[in-house]
Amino acid sequence: MWDQRPAEGTDGAEPLSEKEYNRALAELQVELVKLQRWVQHEGRKICVVFEGRDGAGKGGTIKAITERVSPRVFRVVALPAPTDREKSQMYVQRYLTHLPAAGEIVIFDRSWYNRAGVERVMGFCTEAEAKHFLETVPNMERSIVDSGIILLKYWLEVSSAEQTRRLQARISDGRKIWKLSPMDLKSYSHWYDYSRARDEMFLATDTSWAPWFVARSDDKKRARLNIIHHLLSRVPYHGLKHEKVKLPKRQGSGGYRDPDYPFKIVAEKF
């Protein structure tokens, strides 16, 4: 399952051109808008979980999903490290408060599965706490699903060589350096510890009511398109009829004239 695929494409395929990618993405984003309207109209609730190693492409995938829809419907949750108060709570408590209400789609950029991954590997929880999490989370997710939430869990699988390339790119690109945290650097050397943690997580939490879906993400463009297509296929949405929008006639000036005011104009450097 975890064989290494070439970074330039799926099974050695040629990379998508920017034109091909943008055309396919635009078509999928139209469907996401239809999904948005359906979720609002029907009062449905969707929760999407994204997990994967550092540099697997979670952020880019989430951006592709959300860049053409309303942030009031598609809410992205990316929680910081827990506060002292949150550390004293039941572990999943701070995540449960962000689950969707009617008419919402919530996307977790990392989730309660932090306990099965980074917390376990980097020693932020005990081994007993990690195992207890793996034992109890399937029942929690069954309760989520039974409450009427459509729960989708995606793991983005990146090869070791491609992860190295992407993290190196963050180091050398001033636009991306903020993405590389001290924890990312510490985690980088624990490739096989993360592999073992991932395997045990799948074994314990890949259930019939909340299965894991794995997307190979060495080719980021194809991964984004495949994930969006798959997400849409897992929800029984349909397009809603709406009247064709037409701009109304603009009012007359009524004698209005542009003011003679010394506006502070932004310098036009470009």
The Cα–Cα gap between 106 and 151 comes to: 10
Per-residue pLDDT of the chain (270 residues), as tens digits, is: 444 444 444 456 788 999 999 999 999 999 999 999 999 999 999 999 999 999 999 999 999 999 999 999 999 999 999 999 999 999 999 999 999 999 999 999 999 999 999 999 999 999 999 999 999 999 999 999 999 999 999 999 999 999 999 999 988 888 888 888 888 788 889 999 999 999 999 999 999 999 999 999 999 999 999 999 999 999 999 999 888 889 999 999 999 999 999 999 999 999
pLDDT in tens, 183-226: 878 888 999 999 999 999 999 999 999 999 999 999 999 999 99
Architecture per CATH, domain 17-233, reads as: 3-Layer(aba) Sandwich (3.40)
- Residue spans of the domains in the chain: they are 17-233
Burial class (CB in 10 A: 0-12, 13-18, 19+), 233: exposed
pLDDT in tens, 4-21: 444 444 456 788 999 999
Phi, psi of 217 (to 5 degrees): -120, 20
Taking the CA atoms of the chain, what radius of gyration do you get in angstroms?
22
DSSP character string of 176-230: TGGG--HHHHHHHTTHHHHHHHHHHHHHHH--SSS-EEEEE-SSHHHHHHHHHHH
Number of helices (H), then strands (E), in the chain:
10, 5
